[in-house]
Amino acid sequence: MIIKIIGGRVIDPGQNIDEISDVYIKNDKIIHVGLSKPAGIEREKDFKIIDASNKIVSPGLIDMHVHLREPGHEYKETIETGCRAAVHGGFTAICCMPNTNPVNDNKEVTEYILKKAGDLNLSRVYPVASISCGLLGKKLSEFSHLKEAGAIAFSDDGHPVESSLFMRRALEYAGGMGLFIISHCEDLELADHGVMNEGDVSTLLGLSGIANESESIMVMRDIALSKLTKTHVHIAHVSTKESVIAIGHAKAAGISVTAETAPHYFTLTDKAVLGYNTNAKMNPPLRSDEDREAVIGGLFDNTIDVIATDHAPHAVIEKELEFDLAQNGIIGLETSLSLGLKLVHENRLTLFALIEKMSTNPAKILGLETGVRPGIIADITIIDPDLNYTVCLKDFYSLSKNTPFDGWQLKGRAVLTMVGGKIVYSEL
Amino acid sequence: MQLRNKDILDIASLLPEEINFILDTAEKMKDISKRPIKKVPTLRGKTIFLVFFEPSTRTRLSFDVAAKRLSADVISMTASSSSVVKGESLLDTVKNLESMNPDIIVLRHFCSGAPHFISKRLSVPVINAGDGMHDHPSQSLLDLMTIRENKGSLKGLRITIIGDIAHSRVARADITGFIKMGAYVVVCGPPTMIPKGIEVLGCRVETDFSKAVKGADVIMVLRLQKERQKHFLLSSEREYNKVYGLSLKHIENADQDVLIMHPGPVNRGVEISNDAADSPFSIILDQVTNGVAVRMALFYLLAGGIKDDN
């Protein structure tokens, strides 16, 4: 069967395209893009028509930073509920972090995740394997075995690599195999068990603070080690002004570094913690308004390449607690695009740049082929940028409900998600 | 007059007129403790739970005495003797307690915001008896009462607080309360113990001890927590005493009628010398006396004492 998406505004930053076009899909591939009819196609009445007028047709969105919690913590999220949340949010592909139980430090876990995800036929799942066995920072995981099994990158996310020597060796080792490292940058000793950003709000609430520098010191270290080892390092969840500046300098110096931030860092500040709101507790913590502005600036000037959610599902019993004792993290898959579009509606970022950061750039970093052009696998997200709606927990597919955005009035979201020519989510 | 909220969670949530109302009530309560028969039937038949998740002698005893002088039934629970050791959550614990129909729950907890967290989920009034590094409203109220008693009013007074401001809930509660009632507050201590952004509470930071003490009407000395050296906050108690310890020789530069206060327990020879602690300027023991009165007032106002009197 042929699917014809008509009248949509096709934005594909990878080809520098922004124009009204029809998109023809046959089986799993895009066969034609343009207002003309493709050659050799006759019986148009058999087509499945999707009317995308006044909507954006984008290459499928990719979230590089997701915690799926399976295996081991299926009460928070399973591969299935996570993938359903992903396609609801417009994501055709997600990368899942290795801090499961058991840790994804061996090919059996990688294969298990890929088998489960493959059977679901929802979003694509690319496992990120751990740098160190058991996330302990002592012994390198078997990168080559893991790559062969399907691991797309390596990270000790959530358990930052404290040893500079270990990080150096990990980068060297990965570089030799054409792999790259995603780094959760945090000097744990400097962070000193803090539970929120250090500043006026932490002082007011009597909560122990985490200085910006506990992130930026490690960002600077990893930039230095990337230069030393000539290996690509991708900085996860950038939250501070100092990190943005350091990454900007590194890029100007030609060092192979890329970076991501999460929607909450450009949407919220540490004021969201007031009232001891545990749905505003995450690591790195929500920062000051100055940091939020710097993060938006970094997105605008391409210092920050990627928007990724750090989707971190937690059960109610892990959040309905004293602030000090609550788990870090919030879910993000089902609000990420709308929060990105909020920046667009506020004229802080162009739609083109948003799609670049949510699709084109992550694909480039991960080495995936993407785009809205003939011959490419049809991973497509259709976005209604002007749809007003209220965020409502009961509409979420994620098993966990830990979000600070419940009840927010937002504008714009994904209305159709297509993976390999198959419609996996649709409101059209 | 009545208090606007069902709970006493922090000093910031009280209006200045509510604070004065509480202190006026406390002054009346103070007389009860001076009588030969130190008990009135005001809260007879009321039940007060003291739930302490942190070791405390003075504060727990003070709440206990206050409740008993008003004839309330007091039940004490500490973390080690409770099902907390079996892994029960705070919320489950206090919901179970609420099911026994107490009239007030007094909570001390090592987590900042713990009383705020439970109060939103309970209908019984909650009094914060100290939460983490955040607040300690009954301490601030008793300090306000003691200063007001001696100086008439807080308005225009220069109050200096010396010590580990960063980790002290008493410091936060006092700074907020003193400023709310019209005083100027200066905080002083090693920069390792001054939290970032403390000015947001309205106080000024002075790292020079002699300047901080100069011209002060009230000097509040905080207890130096013995375990702080582990966190690289100071070199030794000896050096702390040398640079930040209050002794009588410093008082010469302060106001003639200066008051010396300390929330206790005192480390004599560390943050304060013997001669200063025992000097006529010291009102440290008055603070303890007033603590009982303030807590009686809070119980009386929250447990519906007013309505029952009518």
pLDDT reported for residue B256:
86
Q: Is omega for the bond preceding A102 within 30 degrees of 0, making it cis?
A: yes
Alpha-carbon gap, residue A397 to A394, rounded angstroms:
8
Residue located via tokens 């059977």: A119
| B93 and B175 share one domain | no
Catalytic (active site) residue A384: no
Residue B305 has pLDDT above 60, yes or no: no
- DSSP readout, B214-249? TT-SEEEEPPPPGGGGGGTS-S-HHHHHHHH-B-HH
For residue A85, report the phi and psi dihedrals to the nearest 5 degrees: -65, -40
> Is residue A291 less than 8 Å (CB to CB) from chain B?
no
> Is residue A275 less than 8 Å (CB to CB) from chain B?
yes
In this predicted model, what pLDDT tens digit does every residue of A404-418 receive, in sequence order?
Answer: 999 999 999 999 999
The percent of residues above 70 in pLDDT, for chain A, comes to 100
Residue A178 has pLDDT above 70, yes or no: yes
**Least CB-CB distance to A206: which of B117, B135, B200?**
B135
| B147 and B283 share one domain | yes
| B114 and B144 share one domain | no
Alpha-carbon gap, residue A284 to A191, rounded angstroms:
10
> Is residue A276 less than 8 Å (CB to CB) from chain B?
yes
Alpha helices (runs of H) in A121-184, residue ranges in sequence order: 143-149, 164-176
Q: Which residues of A touch B132 (CB under 8 A)?
A: 206-207, 324
The structure tokens listed for B57 are 């002698």
In this predicted model, what pLDDT tens digit does every residue of A390-400 receive, in sequence order?
Answer: 999 999 999 99
Alpha-carbon gap, residue B162 to B261, rounded angstroms:
10
> Is residue A203 less than 8 Å (CB to CB) from chain B?
yes
What are the distances in angstroms from CA B291 to CA B56, B130, B139, B281? 14, 14, 7, 19
**Is residue B8 included in any domain, yes or no?**
no
Residue A148 has pLDDT above 70, yes or no: yes
| B31 and B148 share one domain | no
| B149 and B214 share one domain | yes
Alpha-carbon gap, residue A248 to A216, rounded angstroms:
12
User: What average pLDDT does the structure give for chain B?
Assistant: 93
The chain A residue lying nearest B134, using CA atoms, is A206
The answer to whether the beta carbons of residues B70 and B300 sit under 8 Å apart is: yes
Q: Which residues of B touch A269 (CB under 8 A)?
A: none
For residue B305, report the phi and psi dihedrals to the nearest 5 degrees: -55, -35
| B200 and B222 share one domain | yes
To the nearest whole angstrom, how far is the Cα of B246 from the nearest Cα of chain A? 25
User: What average pLDDT does the structure give for chain A?
Assistant: 97
Number of structural domains in chain B = 2
**Is residue B165 included in any domain, yes or no?**
yes
**Is residue B1 included in any domain, yes or no?**
no
Are β-strands A61-66 and A91-96 bridged in parallel, bridged antiparallel, or unpaired? parallel
**Range A60-366: architecture per CATH:** Alpha-Beta Barrel (3.20)
To the nearest whole angstrom, how far is the Cα of A71 from the nearest Cα of chain B? 25
Domain ranges, ordered by start, for chain A: 2-57+375-426, 60-366
Q: Which amino acid is at A234?
A: H
What is the rounded radius of gyration, in angstroms, for the C-alpha atoms of chain A? Answer: 21
| B154 and B110 share one domain | no
**Least CB-CB distance to A207: which of B89, B112, B196?**
B112
Q: Which residues of A touch B133 (CB under 8 A)?
A: 206-208
Alpha-carbon gap, residue B122 to B99, rounded angstroms:
10
**Least CB-CB distance to B172: which of A206, A209, A320?**
A206
Mean pLDDT on B143-166: 97
The answer to whether the beta carbons of residues A60 and A91 sit under 8 Å apart is: yes
**Which residue from B139, B198, B135, B189 is spatially nearest to B161, judged by alpha carbons?**
B189
Q: Left if phi > 0, otherwise alpha if psi is -120 to 50, otherwise beta: which for A244?
A: alpha
| B143 and B248 share one domain | yes
- Residues B101-121 as b or e (16 or more Cβ within 10 Å = b): ebbbbbbbbbbbbbbbbbbee
**Least CB-CB distance to B89: which of A192, A198, A321?**
A321
| B198 and B82 share one domain | no
List % helix, strand, coil for chain A (3-state, nearest 5).
Answer: 35, 25, 40
The answer to whether the Cβ–Cβ distance between B111 and A323 falls below 8 Å is: yes
**Is residue B4 included in any domain, yes or no?**
no
The answer to whether the Cβ–Cβ distance between B131 and A321 falls below 8 Å is: no
Mean pLDDT on B35-47: 95
What are the distances in angstroms from CA A159 to CA A132, A135, A179, A247? 10, 6, 20, 21
Asked whether this chain's domains A2-57+375-426 and A60-366 adopt the same fold, the reply is no
Residue located via tokens 């545990």: A278
pLDDT reported for residue B310:
37
The answer to whether the beta carbons of residues B300 and B74 sit under 8 Å apart is: no
Residue B309 has pLDDT above 60, yes or no: no
The chain B residue lying nearest A206, using CA atoms, is B134
Q: pTM for this one?
A: 0.94
In this predicted model, what pLDDT tens digit does every residue of B258-300 receive, in sequence order?
Answer: 999 999 999 999 999 999 999 999 999 999 999 999 999 999 9
Who contacts B158 (Cβ-Cβ below 8 Å, separation ≥6)?
A: B183, B184, B186, B215, B216, B217, B218, B255
**Which residue from A104, A111, A150 is spatially nearest to A130, judged by alpha carbons?**
A104
**ipTM for this model:** 0.93
> Is residue A209 less than 8 Å (CB to CB) from chain B?
yes
The answer to whether the Cβ–Cβ distance between A204 and B201 falls below 8 Å is: yes
Sheet order of strands, A124-129 included? A61-66, A91-96, A124-129, A153-155, A181-183, A233-235, A257-261, A306-307
pLDDT band at B223 (very low <50, low <70, confident <90, very high): very high
In the set A156, A187, A310, A379, the catalytic residue is A310
Residue A264 has pLDDT above 60, yes or no: yes
pLDDT band at B87 (very low <50, low <70, confident <90, very high): confident
Residue B81 has pLDDT above 80, yes or no: no
**Which residue from A26, A13, A97 is spatially nearest to A63, judged by alpha carbons?**
A97
Who contacts B196 (Cβ-Cβ below 8 Å, separation ≥6)?
A: A198, A199, A200, A202, A203, A209, A211
> Is residue A248 less than 8 Å (CB to CB) from chain B?
no
The answer to whether the Cβ–Cβ distance between B111 and A325 falls below 8 Å is: yes
pLDDT reported for residue B85:
62
| B58 and B118 share one domain | yes
Q: What is the rounded end-to-end Cα distance, in angstroms, of chain A? A: 18
Long-range contacts, A17-20 (Cβ 8 Å, 24+): A17/A372, A18/A352
Residue B30 has pLDDT above 90, yes or no: yes
The chain B residue lying nearest A189, using CA atoms, is B231
The structure tokens listed for A246 are 């350091």
**Is residue B309 included in any domain, yes or no?**
no
List % helix, strand, coil for chain B (3-state, nearest 5).
Answer: 45, 15, 40
Alpha-carbon gap, residue A278 to B91, rounded angstroms:
14
Mean pLDDT on B53-65: 93
**Which residue from A383, A269, A204 is spatially nearest to B199, judged by alpha carbons?**
A204
Q: What is the rounded end-to-end Cα distance, in angstroms, of chain B? A: 14
Mean pLDDT on A151-157: 97
pLDDT band at A43 (very low <50, low <70, confident <90, very high): confident
The answer to whether the beta carbons of residues A5 and A50 sit under 8 Å apart is: yes
Alpha-carbon gap, residue A255 to B241, rounded angstroms:
51
The structure tokens listed for B79 are 């973390």
Strands (E), chain B: 47-52, 73-78, 104-109, 126-131, 158-162, 184-188, 204-205, 218-221, 259-261
To the nearest whole angstrom, how far is the Cα of B198 from the nearest Cα of chain A? 6
Lowest mean pLDDT among A98-102, A158-162, A210-214, B251-255: B251-255
The answer to whether the Cβ–Cβ distance between A324 and B201 falls below 8 Å is: no
3-state SS, residue A418:
strand
**Which residue from A403, A386, A384 is spatially nearest to A394, judged by alpha carbons?**
A403
Alpha-carbon gap, residue A393 to A370, rounded angstroms:
31
> Is residue A199 less than 8 Å (CB to CB) from chain B?
yes
| B284 and B152 share one domain | yes
| B185 and B276 share one domain | yes
The chain A residue lying nearest B197, using CA atoms, is A200
Q: What's the burial of B309, exposed, middle or buried (CB within 10 Å: 0-12/13-18/19+)? A: exposed
Are β-strands B73-78 and B47-52 bridged in parallel, bridged antiparallel, or unpaired? parallel
> Is residue A325 less than 8 Å (CB to CB) from chain B?
yes
The chain B residue lying nearest A211, using CA atoms, is B196
Superfamily the domain A2-57+375-426 falls into = Urease, subunit C, domain 1 (2.30.40.10)
**Is residue B7 included in any domain, yes or no?**
no
Best of A322, A323, A325, A327 to mutate (most B CBs within 10 Å, chain B): A322
Best of B196, B198, B199, B205 to mutate (most A CBs within 10 Å, chain A): B196
Mean pLDDT on A54-76: 98
Range of the domain at B267: 137-288
Lowest mean pLDDT among A326-330, A422-426, B141-145, B211-215: B211-215
- The length of chain B is 310
Alpha-carbon gap, residue B200 to B198, rounded angstroms:
5
Q: Which residues of B touch A204 (CB under 8 A)?
A: 197, 200-201
Best of A189, A195, A197, A204 to mutate (most B CBs within 10 Å, chain B): A204
Alpha-carbon gap, residue B112 to B167, rounded angstroms:
11
pLDDT band at A41 (very low <50, low <70, confident <90, very high): confident
For residue A405, report the phi and psi dihedrals to the nearest 5 degrees: -100, 5
Chain B contacts to A (CB-CB under 8 A)? 89-91, 109-114, 116-117, 131-135, 169, 172, 195-198, 200-201, 231
Residue located via tokens 């920062």: A287
The structure tokens listed for A205 are 């609430």
CATH number at residue B210: 3.40.50.1370
3-state SS, residue B310:
coil
- Residues B209-220 as b or e (16 or more Cβ within 10 Å = b): beebbbebbbbb
Q: Provide the 10 A C-beta neighbour count for residue B92.
A: 13
Q: Which amino acid is at A318?
A: E
The answer to whether the Cβ–Cβ distance between B90 and A317 falls below 8 Å is: no
